[in-house]
Amino acid sequence: MKLKNPIFKISFVALSIITASLFLIPLGNSESNVFSAFFFAVADDPNTHYITMSTVDLGNGQLAYQMISHEIEDINQVITDVTFARYGIVPGPSIPGPAIIINQGDEVFLTLVNNLGEDCVSVHVHGVHYSIEDDGTLASTNKVEDSCATPSNSKTYHWVAAKGTVGTWPYHDHTFGGEIGAEDKGLYGVVIVNESHTEALIEGTLRNFPINKIDKEYVMYMVQTNFWGLEIDHKNGGLQTPLWVNPTLVAKQNDEVRFHVLGLGSQSHTFHAHAHRWVDPGTTNVIDTKNIGPLERHVFVLKAGEGVGSGDWMYHCHVFSHMQAGMSGIFRVSPEGGPSIPGESPIV
Ligand SMILES: [Cu+2]
């Protein structure tokens, strides 16, 4: 920086000294900690996630990821096993795969086990940071090594959810059967990197909404002419329930719910939900349709039944040929006070 005017120069030096002193002088007393916390409140204490997942052949031409275990280590090295709470007593294979929920600042060590009995299968993740040997592609792509799990050798991936990685990111296979991988057979899921708040249109106002106040989340992958869904119920400890194809999504009236809508494959889709509206992230535009390209994602929070009440509200893809092929489901808003139950799927 060039400061030609001497007055500016003096001011700049003075400002620098004052700024530096604010950080340096008060260290060690409690007031300064409050002060530092104010300035450095970027993330809570980061956690390390130790996750094991496998890949399973569903026997109908489809492949799926399955959660085996998920442990979280905090900065005091206290380890909590969240497998049962998050994925159920007996986590099964699902499409989409398990939603891996972490906070900005966290690290992940994800070990993938190949239970397909052949070839080399991987997890290639979007959004978070990793080294090239953890990119989940073949040596022919990354020029380093086959970043995948064989039936005899599992593969551990290391990810860092560094600053700037907040969002909902796809993960998918990138090696099974060749360089493109087998995501089209069902090997895909999401990593959700949270910070403390997200934007939400609640009661007509754009708000900075606390993540820990979200009641339910729906992961909805738009694939060919179907939705493939998974529910996360925070009123039930964050339990995930696979909802499979074109599911009924169940919420109670006035539940604050977050949708994660993603595309997969070679087609673009247009997500639309009846009688509900939300804010296009990063804007103030209130919308009720959104174009979703392959592996694009669209994340929003809304209040179930806001202004319209309980009922079976349809959601669907608005691309006409996809609608005609049945790409739709029901967002069931039950009256307030009912039980929190997972959505049901007409086809499993
Ligand atoms: Cu579509």
- Tell me: pLDDT of 16 over 50: no
- How far is ligand 1, taken at its centre, from the CA of residue 223, in Å? 8
**Mind listing the pLDDT tens digit for each residue in 315-329?**
999 999 999 999 999
- How far is ligand 1, taken at its centre, from the CA of residue 96, in Å? 17
What's the average model confidence in pLDDT over 254-258?
97
Determine the pLDDT at residue 152: 98
- How far is ligand 1, taken at its centre, from the CA of residue 112, in Å? 31
- How far is ligand 1, taken at its centre, from the CA of residue 203, in Å? 29
Strands 216-223 and 79-81: unpaired
pLDDT band for 271, please (50, 70, 90 cuts). very high
Other Cβ atoms closer than 10 A to 293: 13
- How far is ligand 1, taken at its centre, from the CA of residue 325, in Å? 9
- How far is ligand 1, taken at its centre, from the CA of residue 55, in Å? 27
Q: What residues have a C-beta under 5 A from ligand 1, the ion?
A: 269, 317, 319, 322
pLDDT band for 213, please (50, 70, 90 cuts). very high
- Tell me: pLDDT of 24 over 70: no
**Mind listing the pLDDT tens digit for each residue in 116-159?**
999 999 999 999 999 999 999 999 999 999 999 999 999 999 99
- How far is ligand 1, taken at its centre, from the CA of residue 217, in Å? 21
Domains and CATH numbers, the chain: 7-40 (no CATH), 48-194 (2.60.40.420), 197-334 (2.60.40.420)
In this prediction the pTM is 0.86
Determine the pLDDT at residue 162: 97
